[in-house]
Amino acid sequence: MTTQTTLHPDTAPKMASLKTSTVILFAFACGATTANVYYSQSIAGLIASSMHLPASLAGLIVTTTQLGYGMGLFFLVCLADLIENRRLVLMTTAGTIVSLIGVAISSGPAALVVTSFSLGVCTVGSQVLVPLAVHLSPEPKRGKIIGNIMFGLVSGIMLSRPLASFLAGYWGWRSIFVFSAALMLGTFVLMMRALPQWHPQSKRNYWATLRSMLNLLITSRTLQRRAAYQGTMFGIFNMFWAAAPPMLHLRFGLAQAGIAAFALAGAAGALSAPVAGKVADRGGAKIGTGVVIGCAGIALLMSGWGHAEDSLMILVFAAIILDAATQANQVFGQRAIQSLDTGARGRLNAAYMTVIFICGAVGSALGSFTFYHGDWSAIAVVGACLAMAILLVFMTELLASKSA
């Protein structure tokens, strides 16, 4: 028989750190869940062809899934401050499994759109796991634990595209959704057995919670700055990866397998997340933020150089640096906002991630537009300029803290 651990906010400070096995489960669940938002990106053309959709609508499933994810971030993640967290995670995971099966058996565009939207909404369960892990972690080790969980989440994102391409190449586009449904079912069973409970103490109703989340975004300078820093970084990240596949195909003649290998190489940047967590625990998050933003700008300029020199090796290094910088800054941001208010961690994460996701969606659109109207050199210049702009904003915080 499985014994569940039940915790309340007033008992959290007395508890020991999460077991290593539980942290691994959190990281794996975050990665497996979040990957569902990105599977369709690399196989959108195959899906459109199967559904007899014109090429111009190939991105419909991607857009629909991401729209659902954005809605879930805003309207569901804040429930972590109202509903017992383990139950909320299991409910959204069950919804993810059902949605994946729905996508896999969709026989027409209408069913595909509905199930894709539902899939996006339900996958926000991974963003409930992050504040839950913070609740269950002692302050001195919080950054390290967040970093390890972010490593799992980012690995899921980075591996989703090559995995979807690989399975679709052998067994068709539906295979990745069948595979993921089985994977999520296994994850559901593991979480049902091992995930601790957490009972929030908020007395607000749902609509008051939404208003409170908006108020946090309006009044918290730390939340505003961290959302701006990571939103810009994630926008640059998405701009790069939206334009990279067509660039690699047109410039280097890479097919689906080659593009998948490039994305897989870039996934090495996820290794920065645990390191960033340790840096944050030692008080280095502020300086680290400036360093990684600068690295993102350098990575974009390096990618422009690699493109001009026809060097895949330089482009791979640029991708790794950009990915590492983006993920490290995410850890710094999560560490900062999750320390603001222990009773509002769900709302803080919901507001933070909603802003980041909106910026990421804008970055994806900007990447496609910029590449098709200005080639890769424009991607490099625009991305580097965005990094420089947000670095200047960060410098105002650094200067203000020194003068205080």
pLDDT at 55: 64
Does CATH number 3.40.50.620 belong to domain 9-201? no
pLDDT at 2: 46
Our CA angle for 4, 6, 8, nearest 5°, is 165
Structure confidence by residue, pLDDT tens digits, 48-75: 888 888 765 666 777 788 889 989 988 9
Asked if 127 and 353 count as a contact pair (C-beta separation under 8 A), the reply is yes
Structure confidence by residue, pLDDT tens digits, 14-39: 445 678 899 999 999 999 999 999 89
As a whole number, mean pLDDT of residues 384-404 equals 87
What's the CA gap between 23 and 33, in Å, rounded? 15
| Same fold? 9-201, 205-404 | yes
What's the CA gap between 284 and 231, in Å, rounded? 20
- Secondary structure (H, E, C), 337-367: HCCCCHHHHHHHHHHHHHHHHHHHHHHHHHH
What is the secondary structure of 101-144 as a DSSP string?
A: HHHHT--SHHHHHHHHHHHHHHTTHHHHHHHHHHHTS-GGGHHH
Confidence of residue 11 (pLDDT cuts 50, 70, 90): very low
pLDDT at 58: 64
As a whole number, mean pLDDT of residues 210-239 equals 92
Residues facing residue 198 across a β-bridge: 7
Architecture of the structural domain at 205-404: Up-down Bundle (1.20)
Structure confidence by residue, pLDDT tens digits, 229-278: 999 999 999 889 888 888 888 899 988 778 878 888 877 887 887 888 88
pLDDT at 313: 95
Residue boundaries of the structural domains of the chain? 9-201, 205-404
pLDDT at 380 over 70: yes
